[in-house]
Amino acid sequence: MEKIDIKSLTLEELTQHIVGLGEPKFRAKQIYEWLHQKHAFSFSEMTNISAKFQQRLESVFYIDSLKMIKKLVSQIDNTVKYLYELRDGEFVECVLMEYRHGTSICISSQVGCKMGCTFCASTIAGFVRNLTPSEMLDQIYCSALDSGRKISSVVMMGIGEPLDNYDNVLRFLELVSDENGMNLSLRHLSLSTCGLVERICDLAEKRLGLTLSVSLHAPNDTVRSKTMPVSRRYSMNELLKACRFYAEETHRRISFEYALIRGVNDSKRDAEELASRLRGMLCHVNLIPVNPVEEAGYQAAAREDVFRFQNLLLSMGINTTVRRTLGADIHAACGQLRRNSQNVKR
């Protein structure tokens, strides 16, 4: 029989398994704490479990863990980027960032990505597979252990489209916020999506309290279709309708990501059209100077053009921030490290 990935089980599911193995319920909570609070790598570390039952556990479950392959520390701002190897030899990356309010981690949700955004390094080599809940958690656990930093917020903005791995992501959200585990308030978690409309609505109905970031990158379908193939599946009208629904259901402000690409989406007209479409919505716009990816051939908008775009939006009543660039010296943008490791392998 195939062994079960124990770290991907919710406490309720683990309890069912443990009771099924003839042990009392509280045993499940002990094991859960070993996995999610004390970060045990093996059953033999679980000192309040008998050696006999440890062996039984070993025969039914496995404890997944990531192997650190590379760690880059920015000399500029202490950003740390990790490349981890998964059980099957695939790679994922995540980034630790220091902010005034604490340490934030940006995690991946898939190996590769199907979405095909033309400016994004994560999607160039295509999609390999979804990450399991434990692989998402372990990016947090392993990075916290290695760095000795306490992680106070999580952003799902690394490799992959989280809403394309919906079931595992929901389970991850349950695990990461469990009071017997990491106990992260979902108020301190942001999930970024390129805009899978049905899933945004499903998530809205769950009212989990997390922040939804939507990668918009354009003021209309024509501009959006140049860089984001997903715009052929969902029009911007449909997407913005789902975003309004999300904001109304959850009372949470949507964060629209907008990477400024010179000559593609950075004109005055683009700003005006964007403002007119977003007016009245509980939202804000986060401008990002696009991170040039070799294969795409795009140029980042100049710093002053980013601020010009910001000021235009602000003058039209749209709350707009410019994302700080962190880890510029270590290729901290998503997908770049895994991409580089693939180039090295070839």
- Residue of 93, 135, 161, 257 marked active site: 93
Restricting to residues 198-227, which ones interact with ligand SAH according to CB under 6 A?
A: 215
Residue of 142, 9, 128, 175 whose CA lies nearest to 65: 142
- The three-state secondary structure class of 132 is coil
Candidate ranges 72-80, 115-123, 235-243, 277-285; the one touching ligand SAH (CB under 6 A): 115-123
Residue of 176, 148, 183 whose CA lies nearest to 162: 176
| 8 Å CB contact between 156 and 162 | yes
**Active-site annotation holds for 201:** no
Closest contact distance (angstroms) between CB of 179 and ligand SAH is: 28
**Active-site annotation holds for 334:** yes
- Pick the closer one to ligand SAH by CB: 30 or 225: 225
Using CB under 6 A, which of 173, 200, 288, 337 touches ligand SAH? 288
Contact between 290 and ligand SAH per CB under 6 A: yes
Q: Tokens 């349950």 appear where?
A: 174
Closest contact distance (angstroms) between CB of 159 and ligand SAH is: 7
294 phi, psi to nearest 5 deg: -45, -50
- Pick the closer one to ligand SAH by CB: 57 or 189: 189
Instruction: Tell me how far apart the alpha carbons of residues 285 and 313 are, in angstroms, rounded to a whole number.
Output: 9
Residue of 336, 332, 312, 335 whose CA lies nearest to 322: 312
| 8 Å CB contact between 257 and 289 | no
Instruction: Tell me how far apart the alpha carbons of residues 329 and 49 are, in angstroms, rounded to a whole number.
Output: 46
Closest contact distance (angstroms) between CB of 57 and ligand SAH is: 35
Closest contact distance (angstroms) between CB of 287 and ligand SAH is: 10
CB proximity list for 188: less than 8 A, separation 6 or greater: 152, 153, 154
Using CB under 6 A, which of 46, 49, 66, 120 touches ligand SAH? 120
- Pick the closer one to ligand SAH by CB: 14 or 210: 210
Using CB under 6 A, which of 82, 119, 246, 256 touches ligand SAH? 119
Residue of 268, 266, 254 whose CA lies nearest to 223: 266
Closest contact distance (angstroms) between CB of 32 and ligand SAH is: 29
Contact between 157 and ligand SAH per CB under 6 A: yes
Other beta carbons within 10 Å of 263: 9
Annotated catalytic residues are 93, 334
Residues forming the site for ligand SAH (CB under 6 A): 115, 117, 119-120, 157, 161, 192-194, 215, 257, 259, 288, 290-291, 293, 333-334
